[in-house]
């Protein structure tokens, strides 16, 4: 083949390539084109847009619909410095967290009800919560709480046997708290940093024992969830920013036929109806 033929072939090929490029650019700029499957369709930086049809928002809404709920607003970023601080040599006792954000904190006590539907619910909803567990109540099935822990929810101390600590001396209180620290650390790979006295009953012996057991804070509550309604400590019967809410691992026997998932859904509706969202307690204390 002569040199002239090769030159002509190269020229034709270049012209065809140019036409194809123009066609591709014009179709990409129009409203009727379909984006490449490999192109990022989310916000800047390649993060997926939660507002896109079929994206994260749709999946979240579907998960919440399954439990007859609406999605929560995302909580604010945790503070750079935790607002609960201990005085030198003292374990702080908190019922709420100092904050102006419209957030509350959900906690579940004891561990009596071990409903697999609750694990499914929390896996779907991804609501942060804290568990305060008692060994006498959970020892028959330590494994139930591990999937809940794996979701990012911490397991904290609620004594060995759930006594009224005010009736015990400091040594007995220390045994209740410190021995449970060791048991929970062994079972769940991390010793608790928070402690809730059963019934909310404590005295200075409790605080001294908690300090010996390396507890960083004792956690009480402002509201307690019953079956369909909350009990409020304040006269205005409303949630306040930073409130800690007490619920329990309870089932139909204790809840007059209501399941734990139904009780939890009722609690979440109360929180949402008052304009609050749920944050992680361990980020603040």
Residue identified by tokens 């908690």 is 210
SS3 102: coil
Q: pLDDT tens for residues 11-70?
A: 434 433 343 333 333 333 333 333 333 333 333 333 323 333 345 899 999 999 999 999
- What is the per-residue DSSP string for 132-169? EE-HHHHGGGGGGGHHHHHTT--EEE--SS---GGGS-
Give the pLDDT confidence score for residue 12 in this predicted structure: 37
Give the pLDDT confidence score for residue 85 in this predicted structure: 87
- Partners of 107 in the beta sheet? 130, 246
Query: Between 46 and 186, where is the model more confident?
Result: 186
Contact 270, 232 (CB under 8 A): no
Average confidence (pLDDT) over 105-122: 98
Distance CA 240, CA 243 (A): 6
User: Which tokens belong to 248?
Assistant: 């329990």
SS3 43: coil
What letter does residue 259 receive in the DSSP assignment? -
Average confidence (pLDDT) over 175-192: 98
DSSP-derived pairing of the beta strands 217-219 and 194-195:
parallel
Question: What mean pLDDT value characterizes the chain?
Answer: 85
Distance CA 123, CA 62 (A): 13
Give long-range contacts, CB 8 A cutoff, 24+ apart: 203-209.
203/165, 203/166, 205/165, 205/168, 205/169, 205/170, 205/173, 206/165, 206/166, 206/173, 206/177, 207/90, 207/91, 207/93, 208/170, 209/170, 209/173, 209/174, 209/176, 209/177, 209/178
Give the pLDDT confidence score for residue 7 in this predicted structure: 36
Question: What percent of the chain shows pLDDT beyond 70?
Answer: 81
Distance CA 133, CA 221 (A): 16
Q: pLDDT tens for residues 187-244?
A: 999 999 999 999 999 999 999 999 999 999 999 999 999 999 999 999 999 999 999 9
- Output Rg (C-alpha) for the chain, integer angstroms: 28
Distance CA 58, CA 62 (A): 6
Give the pLDDT confidence score for residue 56 in this predicted structure: 87
Give the pLDDT confidence score for residue 87 in this predicted structure: 87
Average confidence (pLDDT) over 98-105: 98
Q: What is the value of pTM for the model shown?
A: 0.81
């Amino acid at each position: 083949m002569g040199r002239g033929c090769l030159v002509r072939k190269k020229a034709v090929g270049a012209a065809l390539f140019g036409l194809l490029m123009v066609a591709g650019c014009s179709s990409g700029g129009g409203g009727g084109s379909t984006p490449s499957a490999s192109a990022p369709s989310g916000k800047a930086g390649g993060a997926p847009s939660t507002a896109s049809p079929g994206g994260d928002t749709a999946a979240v809404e579907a998960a919440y619909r399954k439990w007859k709920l609406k999605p929560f607003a995302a909580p604010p970023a945790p503070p750079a410095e935790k607002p609960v601080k201990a005085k030198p040599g003292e374990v702080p006792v908190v019922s709420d967290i100092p904050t102006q954000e419209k957030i509350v904190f959900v906690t579940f006590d004891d561990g009596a009800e071990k409903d697999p539907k609750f694990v499914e619910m929390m896996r779907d909803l991804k609501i942060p919560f804290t568990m305060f567990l008692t060994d006498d109540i959970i020892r028959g099935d330590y494994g139930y709480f591990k999937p809940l822990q794996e979701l990012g929810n911490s397991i904290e101390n609620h004594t060995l046997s759930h006594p009224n600590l005010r009736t015990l001396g400091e040594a007995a209180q220390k045994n209740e708290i410190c021995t449970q620290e060791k048991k929970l650390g062994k079972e769940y790979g991390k010793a608790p940093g928070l402690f809730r006295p059963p019934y909310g009953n404590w005295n200075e012996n409790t605080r001294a024992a908690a300090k010996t057991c390396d507890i960083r804070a004792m956690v009480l509550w402002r509201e307690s969830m019953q079956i369909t309604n909350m009990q409020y400590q304040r006269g205005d019967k409303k949630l306040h920013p930073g409130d800690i809410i007490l619920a329990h691992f309870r089932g139909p026997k204790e809840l007059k036929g209501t399941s734990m998932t139904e009780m939890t859904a009722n609690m979440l509706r109360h929180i949402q109806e008052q304009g609050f969202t749920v944050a992680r307690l361990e980020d603040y204390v």
